[in-house]
Amino acid sequence: MDTKNRRMKMASKDYSVSEKPTLDHLAVSVLCGMPEYRDAGIMIDKYLDRIQSKYGWQHDVDLAGIKTLEDFEVFRARLLKAYRETLGPMPEEKTPLNPEITGIIEREKFRIEKIVCQSRPNFYVTANLFVPKNRPTPMPGVLIPCGHTANGKAVETYQSAAQFLALRGYVALCFDPVGQGERLQYLEDPKTGESLSLAPTSEHMKCGNICLLTGLHLMAIRIWDAIRMLDYLESRAEVDAERLGITGNSGGGTVTLWYTPLEPRIKVAVPVGTVGTWGGGDSEQNMPNDMLTGLSHAAMMCFAYPRPYRLIKETRDGVFVNTRMSFHKARWLYETLGQGEKMDFVETIREHGYFREMREPMMEWMNRWLGDPQADWREPELEIFSDEDLQVSPTGQVLTSYHSDRVTDLCVRRAEETLPKQRAAHSVAEASAFRDTLVECVLNRTGIKRPQEEISIEVVASEMHGNMQIRQAIIESEAEVFLPMLIGQSLASVPERLPVILADDRGKVANCSDGGLFHLLVEAGHPTVAVDLRGYGETQTTNWSNRDRQGGFVAQLLGVESMGYGYGARHTGHTLIGMRIFDLLQTIRALPHLGLSREVVLIGRGGCGIQALHAAVLSDAVTAVCTWRTLSSYMDVVRGSVYHVRFYDMVPNVTTAYDLPHLSAALAPRPVALVNAVDERLDVCEKAKIEADYALASETYANLKAEKGFLIETQASEGEEVASIVNWLAGIA
């Protein structure tokens, strides 16, 4: 901490006698009144901005270095390799599509075939195929992935694009994405049977987050659907396989953006209502490590070279500067390599959508490069069909019509196949070796390194509260990341015990009232540090979005903390949970600077319990761990499908390496207590369920003759929870 610029005098907390603060007041006011910390509520925003900005600059430098086609091929090969790794696994082979035509709508100039296929076994895709009549064959074909509309392919603007193409001599295939149209993933709550009605973005986030736990990616699933739908389109006798194009709006435009670089069969691409600089939006639109590796939207457009590419964007909702920037970078690349006329940009005076003003320039571009350049690109009057008219499946949903697999079924199978089947250790050496193997997995999955820099900490105030001395301190965990904390020590004649670090995702104030856990721990002789890890308590974001204010699923899935921070951190190879684990490790390192023992007990509530388990695996200074109302197992989230666990508490790709019970087993014989472990809905689990989840840990502790060191507690009330934690500590002291 720069003491010259940030020196905080105790005089800055000059309370009068009548204003002498209570413990509650102290708990919430470590940063209060200090102008240096007026941005505490946007601290994470500023941190992410700093680490993200350098990657954008590097990408521009790399792109500007391309002078020849050979330079570009090296650039493209390097980034496409990184892109495929980012997408994660896709099926190794194509299985039979088993297409079925469930109905046909006949019109004078075209017909609509209602198609259902299986993009992978028992994974059904519904589509409408618009086939021109009285046209010479073979005809060019165009694939239309849909954007985020509840009724998918049946929405007026998307069926209009397909019909318009058919009227101009193109075979157009418009298909439902997962979570939309006839492919809803969440029809009802599997536990309660209650009907669910989630918006497409919420559907995508709900299952997309589970994908990321297992090493899958929802965009890879959507791209595989697109690959197989293009297979079907190409297989049709009416279609010229050498003249295939793709266009989509919004989320469908994003699929167009990310799919085109991987698909050489696509000869012309027209993404609409998409493109910024880097990934953003719901789950499939966020690419892990994209900033780290240079996978910008501009790069994706460049990778289409030398194929014709027209980007279409609305302006009624604002001027999209980042869209323009990405286009000009791609246009520069095309011009540098001698094909400038094939990269084009059209801005329309419409709001977000796929309206006539977007469809006509799409048609002009398709005609220019796929069809007849002299053909009319103006849109005629169209017939709009109802959802029922275009319905493919008998019930209107593939889950009920065909018992189709869901995205979460793919995730469950993946997790069950890849989660290591660990054998219980029979000696301390075996347990230690197991822990050593987990350390690298934890560092890799959470995106952190062990802290090495000299710790920066300053005590800014001290008060007496009865027989307790309460110090206020601030750690600078890393540059401009400040952790406010309280350090409580008893001055009564009680034996001094091991220090405790208490972290709670509700903020430190939740435990600091008289009679709260902080108070009880100090009374019992434990010097106790109550800390707000970044983004909690005093540094919780104040940068709320409209989605945060809506509350419920929308805030949980699409709010600033989950989408903005949880996904934002992943763009640069970081994770928010990893940052908080790092903060906890820094707090441990700060103890000797506070005059406390290096050895410490960690107590974490909620998401902080997950962080405490990880920190204990990484630090031998941790002598014992207690989790409190903490997720029992990530597999609960994978199998549960409907969950309330925050995305930022999820470790990416975790189930291919470990689960939370593995971490507990690796800590043996150090004492571990699980108090009121919760399931994916944050409901307290039955004790038998927790025991089943933690059979590996129980067996390991038993093998090491340390059965009493592993405790599972289920209590009826928070008061009983707190008492059980205090009693557990007394038993291990």
Residues 673-688 have a mean pLDDT of: 97
Helix (H) or strand (E) holding 120: strand 110-120
Q: What's the pTM? A: 0.93
pLDDT class for 193, splitting at 50, 70, 90? confident
Q: Is the pLDDT of residue 463 over 90?
A: no
Distance from chain centroid for Cα 594: 36
Q: Tokens for 7, please give them.
A: 């020196």
Q: Is the pLDDT of residue 287 over 80?
A: yes
Q: Is the pLDDT of residue 240 over 60?
A: yes
pLDDT class for 51, splitting at 50, 70, 90? confident
Helix (H) or strand (E) holding 468: strand 468-478
Q: Which of 66-70, 456-460, 629-633 comes out lowest in average pLDDT?
A: 456-460
Residues 548-572 have a mean pLDDT of: 76
- Residue found under tokens 């009624």: 316
pLDDT cut 90: percent of the chain above it: 79
Q: Tokens for 458, please give them.
A: 């300053």
Domains of the chain: 70-415 (3.40.50.1820), 425-732 (3.40.50.1820)
Query: 337 with 69: CB under 8 angstroms?
Result: yes
Q: Tokens for 283, please give them.
A: 């789950």
- Give residue-wise pLDDT tens across range 364-378: 999 999 999 999 999
Instruction: Give Cα separations from 342 to 94, 185, 249, 332, 522 (angstroms).
Output: 32, 39, 20, 11, 70
Cβ neighbours of residue 426 under 8 Å, at least 6 residues apart? 703, 704
Q: Is the pLDDT of residue 1 over 50?
A: no
Omega of the bond leading into 89 within 30 degrees of 0 (cis): no
- Give residue-wise pLDDT tens across range 694-733: 999 999 999 999 999 999 999 889 899 999 999 999 998 6
pLDDT class for 24, splitting at 50, 70, 90? low
As to burial, measured by CB atoms within 10 angstroms (0-12 exposed, 13-18 middle, 19+ buried), residue 29 is: middle
Q: How many of the other CB atoms lie within 10 Å of CB of 40? A: 22
- Give residue-wise pLDDT tens across range 206-231: 999 999 999 999 999 999 999 999 99
Across 491-556, the runs of DSSP E, i.e. the strands, are: 500-504, 528-531
Highest mean pLDDT: which of 16-20, 28-32, 481-485, 714-718? 481-485
Report d(CA 680, CA 685) in Å as an integer: 10
Q: Is the pLDDT of residue 494 over 80?
A: no
Q: Is 33 left (phi over 0), alpha (psi -120 to 50) or beta?
A: left
Residues 672-677 have a mean pLDDT of: 98
Q: Tell me, what DSSP letter sits at residue 546?
A: H
Q: Is the pLDDT of residue 355 over 50?
A: yes
What pLDDT, on the 0 to 100 scale, is given for residue 16? 29
What pLDDT, on the 0 to 100 scale, is given for residue 56? 80
Greater pLDDT, 8 or 266: 266
Number of H helices, E strands in the chain: 27, 18
pLDDT class for 55, splitting at 50, 70, 90? confident
Q: What is the mean pLDDT of the chain?
A: 92
Query: 704 with 427: CB under 8 angstroms?
Result: yes
